Amino acid sequence: MDLLDTLTAKGLRGEVPTREEALAVLATTDDELLDVVAAAGKVRRRWFGRRVKLNYLVNLKSGLCPEDCSYCSQRLGSKAEILKYTWLKPDQAADAARAGVAGGAKRVCLVASGRGPTDRDIDRVTDTMAAIKDADPEVEICVCLGLLSDNQAERLKAAGADAYNHNLNTSENTYGTITKTHTYADRVDTVQKAHGAGLSACSGLIAGMGESDEDLVDVVFALRELGSDSVPVNFLIPFEGTPLAKEWNLTPQRCLRILAMVRFVNPDTEVRIAGGREVHLRSMQPLGLHIANSIFLGDYLTSEGQAGQTDLDMIKDAGFEVEGAGEATLPRHRADVAEAAQAGHASGGCGSAASACGSGGGCGPCGGHAHAPSAPAGEASEASDDELRGDLVKVRRRGAGTELAPNA
């Protein structure tokens, strides 16, 4: 296929496709799917080999969020029966993080629900990072606390944070349909604040809320322009008790096409399969590893993932290997730019090439909400509009905020 040959050649050179080419990836048929995966896989291996980076989530504060993000189980007015608790103590969070690191994670993601942190919250997270770094000085720490105020990113950087997560979630054009309590511009501002403080930017999207192909391409190009070093691709988890509980618009094939499009637009960037992996990719998760080079290990913020050992077995059985603590995730040329940005010498923003978990706060998976489009040719709808598919959504009942051992 000429399209895939062109995209592969561009990706191997680290070049970006056109918007039309990105849209064409999403329009490919199921008969072409394995060819799409193979093409994206060549680009992935060019820059990341067969390494898979493992990340581990610790939900520092669950529920109790004043924001109205339609996709989020922790939102204001959510009736989802999730765990709800206020801030974990530093030693509790460190214990949870230790389980993930023992399972092979090289990055710990500290997340808290809410619009954004107070200065006292920054102090809490600073103490938590110190407890984690005391146990393992080499572990990477990414923080996700929502919208940042002036100087908060600098404080997190000085305290030892390596990265800050704040997802754009969906296109600027449709953002107002999913959230009214903050804006797309607010999100961009926070990512830019993280850049300015020398933090690596982790910013991504959520698919599956009825957004158009154009919306998906818009947000992925916007993420590239912002210079995200890692792009988490979330697939909506339709929690019962949220406005999007009936939005089952994804098939495993659709998810793979979305991942491939993200990879082609970000050939040398960490692409992470994030929330909803088990729910929507299901038995086709190993194919996703041929496109993305990063996943979360074990459970998510408010939902359960598959067993941590199952994740590790899947990586091994698919012919991949877990990225070691001493290995650099980004290709050398990308790492050079990131290091320069952290030193305050880059004008293009952290991680911008020379050639992406939270909602209003740190709420996790999110995405655009519009009227669900008709399924593309060759794709069956996941479920009828009145079917909630609660069998596929498992609320987290273990790990942080409970007395049960975490899943790692």
According to DSSP, the β-strands at 294-296 and 321-322 are unpaired
What is d(CA 169, CA 55) in angstroms, rounded to the nearest whole number? Answer: 19
Helix residue spans in 159-251 (DSSP H): 184-196, 213-226
Residue 11 near residue 263 (C-beta atoms within 8 A): yes
Torsion angle of C-alpha atoms 28, 321, 228, 191, degrees rounded to 10: 120
CA 139: distance to chain centroid?
Answer: 19
- Where helices occur in 200-321 by DSSP H, the ranges are 213-226, 252-265, 285-289, 308-317
What pLDDT score was predicted for residue 360? 42
Q: Alpha carbon 32 to chain centroid distance?
A: 26
pLDDT of residue 342: 59
Say if CB 210 and CB 258 are below 8 A apart. Answer: no
Taking 50 as the pLDDT cut, the residues of the chain under it are 345-361, 363-386, 388
105-143 residue pLDDT tens: 999 999 998 899 999 999 999 999 999 999 999 999 999
Number of helices followed by number of strands (H, E) in the chain:
12, 10
pLDDT of residue 300: 86
Q: Give 230-240 pLDDT, tens digit per residue.
A: 999 999 988 88
**Residue extents of the structural domains in the chain:** 2-392
372 three-class SS: coil
Question: Residue 155: what residue type?
Answer: R
Active site residues: 65, 69, 72, 109, 142, 202, 272
Is 3.40.50.300 the CATH classification of the domain at 2-392? Answer: no
Give residue 382's pLDDT.
43
Of 255, 247, 357, give the one whose Cα is nearest residue 302: 357
Q: Would you call 231 helix, strand, or coil by DSSP?
A: strand
197-231 pLDDT, tens digit per residue, is 999 999 999 999 999 999 999 999 999 999 999 99
Q: Which of 173, 252, 186, 264 is nearest to 219 (CA)?
A: 173
pLDDT at 372: 35
Quickly list DSSP for 255-281: HHHHHHHHHHHSTTSEEEE-TTIIIII
Give the whole-angstrom CA distance, residue 153 versus residue 141.
13
pLDDT (0 to 100) of residue 389: 59
